[in-house]
Amino acid sequence: MLAEPPLGLYVHMPWCLAKCPYCDFNSHGLRGELPHERYTAALIRDLERAAGPLRGRELATVFFGGGTPSLFPAESVARVLTAARRLLATDASLEVTLEANPGGMEIGDLASFRDAGVTRISLGVQSFDARALRVLGRIHGPDEARAAARAVSAAGLERLNLDLMYALPGQSAEEAVADVEAAVVLAPEHISQYQLTLEPNTLFHARPPELPDEDSAAAMQEATAEALAAAGYVRYEVSAWARPGAECRHNLNYWRYGDYLGVGAGAHGKITRTEEGRILRTRNFRHPDAYMQAGDPLEELTEVAPRDRVFEFMLNVLRLADGFDTALFESRTGMPAGVLAPALARADDLGLVEACGNAAWRPTLRGLQFLNDLQILFLPEATDS
């Protein structure tokens, strides 16, 4: 039976000081003044509209993502959070993450963010190597990254995440490990680690830098994983490492196919309507101007068909080292767990998943390494024709 899952709120802040050449997110280089007043007003309108029908549901997490949300004044964050608290039930455990970039011009006033209700800062460090940062088009240097990380602790924020990338142009395995070690020294509770890829509609895609080959990239992943594990971090998701208990609850909710409101330009939301037995997806206008101008910023509302729920659930949950149990599957998708049996058996044969405990499955280490191959097994057969 479809049950009401935990609810998160994602708030998209679509501006950066400069667009990075690898980034394919909905972010825009800032030209002129940041229209924070107009945008914050639009966010609140959007939130009121989106949260209205959910009145009374409990909100567990908020995530300000971007772009560079730390470019906004803390007051904007405070106003959005106040509106969220007004519209939805919250308690003291509310996790509020804000993405920030380490440059002096973009880090923002961390203490004010803390006062506004932010509990967690996610810093887009990417690397501690000056040359690598330049190639990536980052506007900060290694020292600024270190200073920003220390400032987060000094400001009394509970949690810190550092975003790192590996397989950077010209990078060696030693350099990738050095990046991880430099991060570990700063003692963040959480480290996210991604391989640099060349995505369509980016500058790097048009003019690709020379990247390490796939075997070198794999070697870096393995070496850095060893370093992270040695430092006491646990890989709880394919790309996310945390000290036990410090996992990102907002992201965990995505990965467990929970609900979330998507507010802001281009934001996506997913809401379960248990009384109707439906799951809906929402998507807002992508361009900030279109978003701010629209009376109703919702561009698309689609229902997730039952068989697509199965795939979407697996797509997400297989990223998690602890996997899932069938009770979670049934309550989140409304589908009987039996439908998974053939694909799970195939995945088991390939050594990509393993049973763990009663009616529970998790990806093996091999399954995490070959996550795409694993996820593909759960794609529905040829979509409606």
Partner 1 sequence: MKRIRNFSIIAHIDHGKSTLADRFIQTCGGLADREMSDQVLDSMDLERERGITIKAQSVSLNYQAKDGETYQLNLIDTPGHVDFSYEVSRSLAACEGALLVVDAAQGVEAQSVANCYTAIEQGLEVLPVVNKIDLPSADAERVCTEIEEIIGIDATDAVRTSAKTGLGVVDVLEAVVSRIPEPEGDPDAPLQALIIDSWFDNYVGVVSLIRIVNGRLGKRDKVRVMSTGRSYPADRIGRFTPKMTDTGLLETGEVGFLVAGIKEIDGAPVGDTLTLESNPCSEPLPGFREVQPRVFAGLFPVSSDDYETFREALQKLKLNDSALHYEPESSGALGFGFRCGFLGMLHMEIVQERLEREYGLELITTAPTVVYELATTDGAVSYVDNPARLPQSSQLDEIREPIILANILVPQNHVGAVIGLCVEKRGVQKRMQYLGGQVSLEYELPMSEVVLDFFDRLKSVSRGYASFDYEFCRYQAAPLTRLDILINGERVDALSVIVHRESAYRRGKDLVERMRELIPRQMFDVAIQAAIGGQIIARTTVKALRKNVTAKCYGGDVSRKRKLLEKQKAGKRRMKQVGSVEIPQEAFLAVLQVEKK
Binding interface with partner 1 (CB under 8 A): 10, 25, 65, 163, 165, 192, 194-195, 197, 199, 214-215, 217-219, 221-222, 238-239, 251, 254-255, 260, 262, 267-270, 283, 311-312, 315-316, 350, 366, 369-373, 375-376, 379, 383
DSSP state letters, 251-292:
HHHHHTT-EEEEEETT-EEEEEETTTTEEEEEEE-SSHHHHH
Cβ proximity to partner 1, 231 vs 371, nearer residue: 371
Structure tokens at 301: 């509302």
- Degrees, nearest 5: CA angle 264-270-275: 130
Closest to partner 1 by CB, 358 vs 372, is 372
CB nearer to partner 1: pick between 187 and 376: 376
Least distance in Å: CB of 156 to partner 1? 27
Between the alpha carbon of residue 266 and those of residues 17, 34, 133, 282, the distances in Å are 19, 18, 27, 10
3-class state of residue 160 by DSSP: strand
Instruction: Output the smallest distance, CB 314 to partner 1, in A.
Output: 11
State in angstroms the smallest separation of the CB of 251 from partner 1: 6
CB of 68 to partner 1, least distance (A): 15
Instruction: Tell me the CA distances in angstroms from 63 to 47, 77, 372, one per residue in order.
Output: 13, 11, 26
- The residue (of 102 and 264) whose beta carbon lies closer to partner 1 is 264
Give the dihedral sign, CA 210/213/219/222: positive
Query: Residue 302 Cβ, how far from partner 1 at the closest point, in Å?
Result: 9
Nearer to partner 1, 80 or 217 (CB): 217
Q: Which residues pair with 242 in a beta bridge?
A: 190, 234
Longest dimension (CA), the chain: 57
Nearer to partner 1, 73 or 258 (CB): 258
The two beta strands, 120-126 and 95-100, are parallel
d(Cα 339, Cα 308) in Å, to the nearest integer?
Answer: 12
**Smaller CB separation from partner 1, 192 or 333:** 192
Q: How far is the CB of 154 from partner 1 (least distance, A)?
A: 28
CB of 219 to partner 1, least distance (A): 8
* Three-state SS at 85: helix
